[in-house]
Amino acid sequence: MDDLLREFLTESAEHLDTVDAELVKFEQDPNNETILRHIFRLVHTIKGTCGFLGLPRLEALAHAAETLMGRFRDGMPVSSASVSLILATLDRLKAILADLEAAGTEPAGGDADLIDALERMSLGEAAPAPEPVLPEPVVRELKPGEVSLEDLEAAFLAAPGPDEDAFAPPPAPVPAAAAPRAPAAKPVAPEAAAPKADVSRSDVSTPQAARPEKAEAAPAEGGEAGPVKVQTIRVNVDTLEHLMTMVSELVLTRNQLLEIARRHEDSAYKVPLQRLSHVTAELQEGVMKTRMQPIGNAWQKLPRVVRDLSAELGKQIDLVMQGAETELDRQVLEVIKDPLTHMVRNSADHGLEATAARVAAGKPARGTIRLSAYHEGGTITIEIADDGKGLDLAAIRRKAVERNLASQAEVERMTDAQVAKFIFHAGFSTAAAVTSVSGRGVGMDVVKTNIETIGGIIDIATNPGRGTVFTIKIPLTLAIVAALIVRAGAHRFALPQVAVLELVRVGADAQAVERINGSPVLRLRERLLPIVSLTGVLGQGSGEPEAQAAGFVVVAQVGRQRFGILVDEVFHTEEIVVKPMSAKLRHIPLFAGNTILGDGAVVLIVDPNGVARQVSQGVQGAAAQAEAEAAEAEATEATTTLLVFKGGGGGFKAVPLSLVTRLEEIDASTVEWLGGRPLVQYRGRLMPLVPADEAIAIRSEGRQALVVFSDGERAMGLVVDAIVDIVEERLDIEIGAERSDLIGSAVLRGRATDIINIAHFLPLAYDDWARGPKRPVETATLLLVDDSAFFREMLSPVLKAAGYQVVTAGGADEALAALQADPRIAVVVTDLEMPGRSGFDLVAAMRGGDRRLAALPVIGLSGAVGAETVERARALAITDLVAKFDRSGLVAALAEIGAPALARAA
């Protein structure tokens, strides 16, 4: 393949990409002549060159497309169908170009279909077109680099191609001279001038746009060669890469020289060396610059993608792009291209709601995806924001627990941002349940991996109903980074400085590293920081001899995960040239590459992402184990999930998890005292705090753990010393506590644990809690049947709070007696699994009894709601089935039975 052809291929590919993007813009703004002219010119260039190189197939296609665009230019209305047709033509052109690149010749075949369609489109609607064509509204001196319309026309006509009759008489610029005098045209002029100025600017500043016309259009278009000289040249990427490698070597050599000069006092070297150092630095910067490309290059295809998606999904989508001129290393650009496309696709597909849903939610019908990029320090920040529905965090929480990614307790305590991160877990996103509910994420794990391979980080912020923002931070370049040189064991390693937050000295005479079950942690400003020792993760740790860890902790942050890396010694920071790992070693996730230091030694570059993964894998392993244990426990017995906490005098207390709304850790300084009672602002409301035991004092500093209970709009924070665990165990309560704040005690995980009585605490928080804030059916009496005194005790206050008079019974017989005795009973809540006569027997007896009992609504409580249970329940006309510990479900079910039924019964 000759050079001319090769050059043509690269340029045409670029042109076509630009045309793609421009056409989409044009479709939205059909009156923008600047865009149209730009497109026209690009397509024309392709056509011209094809003729020149003897590529008839390409030329014919380009010609047909050009003709249709000529019609647009002459004022034919722009329809979506016609733009689609042109886009299809461009796709065909690209396909032919690809074949051309592979084979060196134009592939055989015809394009009569497209050409026919194009011609029909241009002819069919051309007939009514020749009304007075939109005159050129602007008459002014051409700026340098601009081409007058006449020149352009001349160029078009001069270009090879049988287009004589396809063209309408060229819209002579002559009428334009009259235009400024026409009153209507006058206000248009300044507006139209602005985009023109834009064109000329972009011609100079963005080489992509300018280069093609300048460098290559020359043979076809004499008029194109304006007064602007050729400012750019095309350089082979390999040449640049080689240059970069050589500069890297130079940097290394300079570092070596500096190292030597440091050891020798001979000052004769100092000055020239200093000079060499500066020149090298500048050279390095200059070469780096040649590798820089505007991020817009990676965005080029997006308008087209969004347009197609928008048509396909039937959503109206605006794509807003800001900061397309932000430059970054081409290597980085290559890597983020696909993830970006993927994420924009995701935002359009899942992030944005359907138009109808948007309107219903009171949002503008057109969804917006905003893509922005800007420099920030040594990194580039890219944001992809949509104004869609946001992530369904509840579903993600649920899914995370289901998939054993975190335990219930952890998930409860996590912030929304942490929860959102679960979508990056491999396989998480692909799970059908989450994608259909939460909407996000096929392949988000791949996106994350891609971004992490170039040392980038990705973050999510989501706002329910308002949208989701993905933030990507990536380094400007991969080639040279600042790194901290550290020693671990016998060897030195380099740690990229972007991930390093601070250094903390630890050891006998400084701060000590503490251990929890062997896992080292460090107290850092009142927070615990998990620590890994570098020798440990590298598998060089010699067992457990480092009881007294000494050295430095490098505090690193990856995404939102913060952890410490324990190293033995910290030397200095150095600009290092990152060399890729050998293919034989690339599978080791802990290394990002290697480099040669000033003294000539090879050191490995530790990948903070890899270390972070190791840190969290340890955590996950433990969590999974706990889950497995829990699952095992569940299998053997019907169990209750209890939240265990420390409260008062070091004793353990527990409360059924089902009653708990959330676990919180608040900053103790946010506790306020009003009228002698502690309060805290919680989710925009005031929440009273009640200590779980008299012995607990609310902390005045540091973190305070809370167990939040809520009921409708009210919430109460139970102050505890520390949340210990969530256990799932069979509950054998020994009732008998004399204290009203305790139901009794039980043995949980081998520890005597007090089970607290929430009913005791709720009134302490709100005097009127027991009375209930709203009681539509105050007089309704409810019979609660459960063989377990504990559950009777537990549920009674809840039901009372919901506004019922509660009568309890410990078994079916007792319940029947109570029903006979108390005609006020309007609804029955019964445990279905009871020893002796079960709940089903009770209901069966009721249904067989007198009319009042037979018609009574019944809610069944069941530990396991299986198909069989549902079947039986239906047969007995049980109104609703509720899982045994689902307190809110029970209240909701009661509310559903509703006032009418109860009132009637009452």
Residue ranges that bind another protein, judged by CB under 8 A: 249, 252-253, 491, 538-540, 579, 582-588, 590-591, 594-596, 600-604
Contact, 881 vs 870, CB < 8 A? yes
Q: What separation in angstroms does the CA of 667 have from each of 521, 525, 664, 705?
A: 21, 13, 10, 9
Min dist. Cβ of residue 579 to another protein (A): 5
Helix axes 56-73, 80-103, angle to 10 degrees: 160
Q: Would you say the C-alpha torsion 20, 24, 26, 30 has a positive or negative sign?
A: positive
Strand order of the sheet with strand 781-785?
805-809, 781-785, 825-831, 858-862, 880-883
Min dist. Cβ of residue 789 to another protein (A): 56
Contact, 777 vs 801, CB < 8 A? no
Q: Which is nearer to another protein, 433 or 601 (CB)?
A: 601
Query: Which residues are 716's β-sheet partners?
Result: 709
Helix ranges (H only) for 773-863 are: 789-801, 812-821, 839-848, 851-855
Q: Which is nearer to another protein, 299 or 591 (CB)?
A: 591
Q: Which is nearer to another protein, 238 or 868 (CB)?
A: 238
State the amino acid at position 415 in one-letter form.
Answer: T
Q: What are the percentages of helix, strand and coil residues in the chain, rounded to 5?
A: 45, 25, 30
* DSSP characters over 636-678: HS--EEEEEEE-STT-EEEEEGGG--EEEEEEGGGEEEETTEE
Across the chain, how many H-helices and E-strands are there?
Answer: 29, 35
Q: Which is nearer to another protein, 396 or 592 (CB)?
A: 592
Helix axes 33-53, 56-73, angle to 10 degrees: 160
Q: What separation in angstroms does the CA of 789 have from each of 521, 727, 783, 822, 843?
A: 43, 20, 14, 21, 20
Length of the chain: 906
Q: Which is nearer to another protein, 306 or 576 (CB)?
A: 576
Q: Which is nearer to another protein, 432 or 583 (CB)?
A: 583
Min dist. Cβ of residue 452 to another protein (A): 14
* DSSP characters over 602-625: EEEEE-HHHHHHHHHHHHHHHHHH
Min dist. Cβ of residue 235 to another protein (A): 21
* Residues 531, 525: Cα–Cα separation, whole Å: 15
* Residues 774, 776: Cα–Cα separation, whole Å: 6
Q: Which is nearer to another protein, 194 or 237 (CB)?
A: 237
Min dist. Cβ of residue 603 to another protein (A): 6
DSSP letter (8 states) at residue 78: P
Min dist. Cβ of residue 252 to another protein (A): 6
Min dist. Cβ of residue 254 to another protein (A): 12
DSSP letter (8 states) at residue 180: G
Min dist. Cβ of residue 581 to another protein (A): 9
State the amino acid at position 188 in one-letter form.
Answer: V
Nearest to 774 by CA among 905, 891, 893, 882: 891
Min dist. Cβ of residue 583 to another protein (A): 6
Min dist. Cβ of residue 540 to another protein (A): 6
Q: How does 680-695 read in b/e, with b if 16+ C-beta sit within 10 Å?
A: bebeeeebbbbbbbee
Q: If DSSP codes are grouped into helix, strand and coil, which group holds residue 836? A: coil
Min dist. Cβ of residue 591 to another protein (A): 7
Q: How does 5-29 read in b/e, with b if 16+ C-beta sit within 10 Å?
A: beebeebbebbbbbbbbbbbbbbee
Q: Which is nearer to another protein, 614 or 661 (CB)?
A: 614
Q: Which is nearer to another protein, 542 or 700 (CB)?
A: 542
Contact, 68 vs 19, CB < 8 A? no
Contact, 602 vs 596, CB < 8 A? yes
Q: Which is nearer to another protein, 491 or 699 (CB)?
A: 491
Q: Which is nearer to another protein, 595 or 862 (CB)?
A: 595
Min dist. Cβ of residue 474 to another protein (A): 22
Helix ranges (H only) for 104-236 are: 112-124, 149-158, 174-178, 188-205, 207-211
Min dist. Cβ of residue 401 to another protein (A): 29
Min dist. Cβ of residue 464 to another protein (A): 39
Min dist. Cβ of residue 593 to another protein (A): 9
If one counts every other C-beta atom within 10 angstroms of the C-beta of residue 257, the result is 17
Nearest to 38 by CA among 169, 179, 174, 195: 195
Q: Which is nearer to another protein, 196 or 579 (CB)?
A: 579
Q: Which is nearer to another protein, 233 or 583 (CB)?
A: 583
* Residues 343, 351: Cα–Cα separation, whole Å: 10
Q: Would you say the C-alpha torsion 637, 643, 645, 647 has a positive or negative sign?
A: negative
Q: Which is nearer to another protein, 157 or 585 (CB)?
A: 585
Min dist. Cβ of residue 467 to another protein (A): 36
Query: Which residues are 809's β-sheet partners?
Result: 785
Q: Which is nearer to another protein, 10 or 449 (CB)?
A: 449
* Residues 121, 78: Cα–Cα separation, whole Å: 11
Min dist. Cβ of residue 255 to another protein (A): 11
The residues, ordered by sequence, that sit 6+ positions from 653 with a Cβ below 8 Å of its Cβ are 644, 645, 646, 647, 692, 693, 720, 753, 754, 755, 756
Q: Which is nearer to another protein, 155 or 604 (CB)?
A: 604
* Residues 846, 827: Cα–Cα separation, whole Å: 12
Q: Which is nearer to another protein, 454 or 780 (CB)?
A: 454
Nearest to 812 by CA among 861, 845, 851, 858: 845
Q: Which is nearer to another protein, 444 or 606 (CB)?
A: 606
Min dist. Cβ of residue 249 to another protein (A): 5
